[in-house]
Amino acid sequence: MTAIPAQEQLAARADAAPLPRRKGRAGRLEWLAVHAVFLVVCAFFLVPFLWLLSAAFDAKAKAYIAFPAQPTIMNFVRIFTDYDFGRVLLNSVFVSVATMILVVFTVALAGYSLSRIDLRRKDWVMYGVLLLQTMPIAATMVPIYGLARQLGLRNSYLGLILVHAAIELPFLIWLMKNFFDSIPRHLEEAAWLDGRSRFRALVEIVLPLARPGLGIAAGLAFLSAWAEVLMVVILIDQDSLKTVPLAFYQAMRTQGGYTEVQYGVIAAMAIIYLLPVMVVFFASRRLMVRGLIGSTRGL
């Protein structure tokens, strides 16, 4: 769901005015109190990840944190030999990149067109688009399964790419429309007078100015296609089409019961699953924070 005003405030981000450091006993006490709280907060948020790291490199990983008694990379080797992870990774990269390209193309066209079109009740169209963004995937999961089965979109790359392209679309259309609204029309009109076609004017003059928006769209589309699991679970049951989220989901759910849980192997999978997310996110944190805040909804 979108928190629109907040997004603008984040974008405005007037820099926080520094406070003078307190001197003496009061200052030391404050430092101590703040850092004690920091320690608790960090423990809460980081311990699960520290465990993940220790388990992935431990031959006998258990559910508790311990420095690996037998440090090993065998867990990573095993997911490729026992779980055919090479194929899985390739599928995931293909689906995510294809989704990203489709989304950038679609939202650039749609955002630009919505920004420039003359409609009597354009604001209602925009409210409608925002309303779609609030629809939880969990609620449409059953009907999407039924529809995809009737349309023959199950067990195909095309179905996966289309559904992943659609998931963040309402928010991204809204975002891109606002980006294009801020680009004055006379720029492209001048290009038309120069004899450029409508399409060339859009590609050469307008799109370069909308680059931050296109960056958010590309990053968010890639992240969501890479990470999203529900749609993959209901659309794919052929092993040759499996992507990383599905492989992880299956590995996790078939464990337990009477067999000992292979925490090490699943943790290794989780790390490979997590790595691109962290790279994309922390490489362009400000854009991605903006994108993720706007598109947040339950998964």
Partner 1 sequence: MATTAVAANARRRSLRRNRLYLAGLTPAAFLLALFFVGPALWALASSFTNRALVGLDAANPRFVGLDNYIRLFSDPDFGRVILNSVVFVIGSAIIGQFVLGLLLALLLDHAQRRGFLATSLVYASVLLAWVNPTIIAGFLWVAMFDYYNGSLNSGLQLLGIGPVNWLGQGPMLAIVIANTWRGTAFVMLIFLGALRTIPTDIYEAARVDGAGPFRRFWDHTLPLLRPIAALTLLSVTIATFGTFILIQALTNGGPALQTEVIALYAYHEAFQNHAVGYGSTIAVVMLALNFAFAAVFLRWSRPRV
Longest Cα–Cα distance in the chain: 74
CB closer to partner 1 out of 46 and 77: 46
Considering only CA atoms, which of 197, 177, 39 is closest in space to residue 119? Answer: 177
Which one of 7-15, 74-82, 86-94, 212-220 is the stretch in contact with partner 1 (CB under 8 A)?
7-15
CB closer to partner 1 out of 15 and 24: 15
Task: Sketch the per residue contact string, 75 through 94, with partner 1: x for CB under 8 A, - otherwise.
Answer: --------------------
Long-range contacts of 59-66 (CB under 8 A, 24+ apart): 59/264, 60/264, 61/263, 61/264, 61/267, 62/263, 63/261, 63/263
End-to-end CA separation in angstroms for the chain: 11
Q: Which of residues 148-207 bind partner 1 (CB under 8 A)?
A: 162-163, 165-167, 169-170, 173-174, 177-178, 198
Is 239 a binder of partner 1 (CB under 8 A)? Answer: no
Task: Give the total of residues touching partner 1 (CB under 8 A).
Answer: 110
How many other β-carbons are positioned within 10 Å of the β-carbon of residue 25? 8
Task: Sketch the per residue contact string, 19 through 58, with partner 1: x for CB under 8 A, - otherwise.
Answer: x-xx-------xx--xx-xx--xx-xxxxxx-xx--x---
How many Å separate Cα 63 from the centre of its chain?
28
Which amino acid, 144? I
Q: Which of residues 111-150 bind partner 1 (CB under 8 A)?
A: 112-114, 116-118, 122-123, 126-127, 129-132, 134-147
Sole binder of partner 1 in the list 53, 65, 187, 193 (CB under 8 A) = 65
Which amino acid, 61? A
Give the nearest distance from C-beta 81 to partner 1 in angstroms.
21
CB closer to partner 1 out of 238 and 253: 253
Residue 256, phi then psi, degrees to nearest 5? 90, -165
Compute the distance between CA of residue 187 and CA of residue 206 in angstroms, rounded to an integer: 8
CB closer to partner 1 out of 41 and 190: 41
Give the nearest distance from C-beta 189 to partner 1 in angstroms.
11
Give the nearest distance from C-beta 2 to partner 1 in angstroms.
7
Dihedral of CA atoms 209, 214, 215, 218 in degrees, nearest 10, equals -160
CB closer to partner 1 out of 49 and 190: 49
Is 2 a binder of partner 1 (CB under 8 A)? Answer: yes
Compute the distance between CA of residue 149 and CA of residue 132 in angstroms, rounded to an integer: 22
Give the nearest distance from C-beta 126 to partner 1 in angstroms.
4
Q: Which residue bears the tokens 């790359």?
A: 157
